[in-house]
């Protein structure tokens, strides 16, 4: 057990968004460390043993119920997490990511919370002006997602300064790992394309570089954020090594043995041209990623390889809007009809 995990024994921690991809890893790691955990989320948690307050973090009554009994720490993950969705739904994005974050901070203030860890993003910074993104990069977000995360960071800066809640904003790069079937980010899309037998659409030329960090490494940074009194404000969390989309595709082909044909579509609005990060501040606090990309993505493929085809199609969470005519599956997951048809055709082959 790490030093950070040891310090969490007996602590009460509220995890907003604890039913989502990263949240489920956070909840199980905190429980293993001996913390008492509650989740507040729109969605149920797959483990019925987990204490969950179901509801919207922007609703004051939900926040009151969530904070009932008091907490030592908060891990704040609940958000509109998709860049594209934030462009389609800027009002919802504002309500969840800014008004909701403010509600969470008020709940923390009125119930005596000492430490809060926030899942922020390098998308707060916008186009790169320096060779690598550090905590000193100026905030010039390109999308409602990036802008609302930046606003969340600003609120936290004030709550740290005025109310003494030590808030740490982890600026995460692309997070991947087991349990991301509901996600629409590149690694999940690649896995889905292999399992469904279709082509993978590259947005733009595929030369754009991104940094990929394993979810287990993100969780260990969150434990440091809860327990290390020297952390507050922004901390860049990433592997410190960037890969182009084409390099990621090659690595996934190598690991899976799949042919994985690609097509090229238009570049997506709001995409950062490049993400290269320097996680030196995190390293100085003793954090370093334990997963290299090949090892991490091999684990993800091993999980997807074993999935029932319906599992590979499962969408869950507020990240991906339920699709019209979608078929609801066991556990509340939703599958898109077009993908279902494609899967059925593949099965018949």
Q: Which residues of this chain interact with ligand NAD, rule CB under 6 A? A: 17, 19-23, 40-43, 56-58, 77-79, 81, 96, 100, 119, 121, 172, 174-175, 182, 185, 317-319
- Closest CB to ligand NAD among 115 and 272? 272
Q: State the DSSP code for 99.
A: I
Closest by Cα among 93, 100, 92, 94 to 74 = 100
Secondary element (H or E) of residue 346: helix 337-348
- Closest CB to ligand NAD among 197 and 303? 303
Q: Are 125 and 140 in contact (CB under 8 A)?
A: yes
The least distance separating ligand NAD from the CB of residue 278, rounded to whole angstroms, comes to: 17
Burial 250-285 (b: 16+ CB within 10 A, else e): ebbeebbebebebeeeeeeebbbebbbbbbebbeee
Residue in this structure with the two tokens 């507020």, named with its chain if needed: 318
The least distance separating ligand NAD from the CB of residue 132, rounded to whole angstroms, comes to: 17
- Closest CB to ligand NAD among 166 and 171? 171
- Closest CB to ligand NAD among 65 and 197? 65
Two tokens, residue 332: 């509340």
Q: Are 113 and 165 in contact (CB under 8 A)?
A: yes
Name the residue whose CB lies closest to ligand NAD: 20
Give Cα 163 distance to the centre of its chain: 27
- Closest CB to ligand NAD among 123 and 202? 123
The least distance separating ligand NAD from the CB of residue 318, rounded to whole angstroms, comes to: 4
From CA 197, how far away is CA 103, in angstroms rounded?
44
The least distance separating ligand NAD from the CB of residue 224, rounded to whole angstroms, comes to: 16
Longest dimension (CA), the chain: 64
The least distance separating ligand NAD from the CB of residue 86, rounded to whole angstroms, comes to: 10
């Amino acid at each position: 057990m790490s030093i950070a995990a040891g310090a969490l024994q007996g602590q009460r921690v509220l995890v907003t968004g604890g039913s989502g991809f990263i949240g489920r890893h956070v909840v199980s790691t905190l429980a293993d460390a001996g913390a008492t955990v509650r989740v507040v989320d729109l969605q149920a948690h797959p483990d019925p043993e987990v204490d969950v307050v179901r509801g919207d973090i922007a609703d004051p009554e939900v926040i009151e119920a969530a904070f009932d009994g008091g907490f030592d720490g908060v891990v704040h993950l609940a958000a509109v997490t998709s860049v594209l969705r934030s462009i389609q739904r800027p009002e919802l994005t504002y309500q969840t990511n800014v008004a909701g974050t403010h509600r969470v901070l008020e709940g923390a203030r009125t119930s005596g919370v000492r430490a809060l860890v926030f899942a922020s993003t390098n998308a707060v910074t916008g186009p790169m002006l320096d060779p690598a993104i550090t905590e000193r990069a100026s905030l010039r977000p390109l999308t409602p997602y990036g802008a609302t995360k930046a606003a969340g960071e600003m609120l936290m800066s004030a709550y740290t300064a005025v109310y003494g809640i030590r808030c740490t904003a982890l600026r995460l790069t692309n997070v991947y790992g087991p349990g991301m079937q509901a996600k629409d980010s590149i690694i999940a899309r690649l896995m889905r394309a292999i399992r469904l037998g279709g082509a993978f659409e590259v947005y733009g030329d595929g030369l754009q570089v991104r940094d990929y960090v394993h979810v287990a490494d993100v969780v260990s940074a969150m434990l440091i954020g809860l327990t290390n009194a020297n952390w507050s404000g922004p901390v860049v969390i990433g592997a410190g090594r960037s890969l182009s989309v084409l390099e990621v595709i090659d690595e996934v082909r190598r690991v899976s043995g799949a042919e994985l044909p690609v097509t090229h579509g238009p570049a997506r609005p709001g995409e950062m041209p490049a993400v290269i990060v320097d996680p030196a501040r995190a390293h100085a606090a003793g954090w370093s990623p334990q997963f290299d990309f090949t090892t991490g993505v091999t684990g993800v493929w091993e999980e997807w390889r074993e999935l029932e085809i319906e599992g590979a199609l499962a969408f869950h969470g507020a990240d991906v809007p339920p699709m019209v005519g979608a078929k609801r599956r066991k556990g509340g997951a939703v599958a898109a009809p077009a993908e279902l048809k494609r899967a059925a055709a593949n099965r018949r082959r």
